[in-house]
Amino acid sequence: MMATFEKDCPLNRSVGACFCAREQKKHSGSLSQESGIRTGPTMETSEKRSLTNEPKKRIIKHPDHIKPQPNVIDEEELDSEVMAGEALERRNAWEPSVFYSLGMESFSFAGHEISIRESLDTYGALIWPGAVALCSYLEKNQEQFNLLDKAVLELGAGTGLVSIVASLMGAWVTATDLPEILDNLNFNLSRNTRGRCRYTPQVAQLTWGKELGRKFPSSIYNYDYILCADVVYHHNCLDELLITMKHFCRPGTILLWANKIRFQTDLLFIENFEKAFNITLLAENTKDEVKIFQATAQPE
């Protein structure tokens, strides 16, 4: 099924040297520091933030056999002056449902206002076009992709926007990324889901392609949906990403991947992606070069 969606993200999220000269000329401003690539140590977890000041609610938790331990949340505020410049640079580029304050971006999805804290020193702490596009698509196509009571894994969760929306739609979510991303990811998840969700989302460290069979044995870790947003860009871990997608996308699993197509290597990844899975192009925005794919496992 082919669908269309409106522009969800500006092009001026270019970071460091990884974006092409064409986008650098079209959109002014720079983002400080080159980020870490989504390949880190192994999958670990930390302690859950204390929520003693919140009203108690009945929470349905993940089954123990696949539930990662919770993480500690670092609530140190981001540099307001740096974030002010970034916010002013992008504030008029979004749809009316999105507005900016210092260091925060706010969205409206699944009947809730969502506030996301960003950082400029790593790719994973910024919101990218594919994340907003995927959230919008999931919200508009809930009959086709009903996440209620479904087990969902997000690869390269970044700021956590997609995982937050999936949690608000009733899924029990495990959001994964590199260790340097997890504090901000956990902060955003906790801020936007506590007291709102059927399940408490979990955060876990995951290295693409590393010790997946030992850390995430397929006999135990089974998911209904795998969500990925803008995980393909100019980095050296595309083979490892595809291996990770194949590991988690088992028979019966649906993988949804949204991405802005920027580089020739992105097109090469799509070719390999098509060979590895049964895929359907669900939506495409030709103006912003964002595509959303559905993938299922091929017969073994």
Q: How does pLDDT run across 54-99, given as a tens digit for each residue?
A: 444 444 445 444 544 343 333 334 333 433 443 344 433 333 334 3
Given a cut of 50, whether residue 35 has pLDDT beyond it is no
Given a cut of 60, whether residue 23 has pLDDT beyond it is no
> Mean pLDDT, to the nearest integer, of 104-131?
84
**Does the CA dihedral 51-172-160-218 come out positive or negative?**
positive
Identify which of 20, 190, 199, 177 has the alpha carbon closest to the alpha carbon of residue 117. Answer: 190
pTM, two decimals, is 0.67
What are phi and psi for residue 37, nearest 5 degrees? -85, 155
> Mean pLDDT, to the nearest integer, of 236-259?
96
Mean pLDDT of the chain: 75
Q: How far apart (Å, rounded) are the C-alpha atoms in residues 268 and 262?
A: 11
Q: Largest Cα–Cα distance of the chain, in whole Å?
A: 53
Cα–Cα separations (whole angstroms), residue 251 to 24, 257, 298? 42, 17, 8
